[in-house]
Amino acid sequence: MRKLNLELNAADIYAGQYLILDNISLKLQEEEIIYLCGSPNSGMQSLLRTLWTEFPLRKGHLKILDSEPKSLDADSLAALRQRFGIVSQTLPLLDNLSIEENLLFILEYTNEFNLQTRIERTNEVISLFGLEQWRQQHPAQLSHFELIKAQIARALLNHPSILFLDDPLLLLKDSQREQLMYCIHNQLNQIVSSILIGSSVYDYLERYPAPTWQIQEGRLNRLDLELTKQSPSALDIDSGHV
């Protein structure tokens, strides 16, 4: 049996003072991708922000990467968070820095003090997502698709054990959604142990089936997606990067 990287049991999820999800449970194993589906106002984002420990869990039990966030002091909790990769519009790139500077800043902030190591790792993730021509541009100069790729590149810098993606398909064109989902299932799953994707877009999830949970009326229910996966040969994707 594969190891559990995340386990949430009998949890109540709040947005501010308001209870929005009641008595929910969720598990994420190593070498697994799961989907968390819901409308923008369903509570999906509050659940994600609770799972990556930005929001405190008031009731229930959360264990993630063998740690219980409730029992950790501030330094230990910060160290745990460095093992997450997070892509969310609530955590934007810094507008006053170029894409390359944003990535280098994160590595320095997370205590990688060797400049050559920071440069090499930055070059690796820039190359993975084909961002070479945008490395000196600022976030406001990028298309939404290139911005999402830059955010995922940033999330991968510290070799995370869990990657959280908060509605990454929203506002993308159909071809871009296809490219991103292909990348997640055929490249990122080789890099990151576990991936949790929150999404308000359902159709492209069906092309790449994985365990799926739907938030509806304050509950979390298992949803079966039919297998409609397209052959990679039918995709207009560069084999080197997304």
Over residues 161-171, the pLDDT tens digits come to: 999 999 999 99
Q: Give the CA diameter of the chain.
A: 50
Residue 206 has pLDDT above 90, yes or no: no
Residue 223 has pLDDT above 80, yes or no: yes
Residue 86 has pLDDT above 60, yes or no: yes
Residue 236: predicted pLDDT: 37
Confidence of residue 222 (pLDDT cuts 50, 70, 90): very high
Residue 124 main-chain phi, psi, to 5 deg: -60, -50
Separation CA 132–CA 210 (nearest Å):
31
Percentage above 70 pLDDT, the chain? 93
Over residues 21-71, the pLDDT tens digits come to: 999 999 999 999 999 999 988 999 999 999 999 999 999 999 999 999 999
226's CB contacts (< 8 A; 6+ apart) are 206, 209
pTM reported for the whole predicted model? 0.92
Residue 225: predicted pLDDT: 65
Confidence of residue 113 (pLDDT cuts 50, 70, 90): confident
Residue 204: predicted pLDDT: 81
Domain boundaries, given as residue ranges, for the chain: 91-150
Q: Using alpha carbons, list the distances in angstroms from residue 156 to 138, 219, 231.
A: 19, 31, 26
Separation CA 199–CA 124 (nearest Å):
27
Confidence of residue 172 (pLDDT cuts 50, 70, 90): very high
Range 123-144 average pLDDT: 97
Q: Would you say how long the chain is, in residues?
A: 242
Residue 228: predicted pLDDT: 44
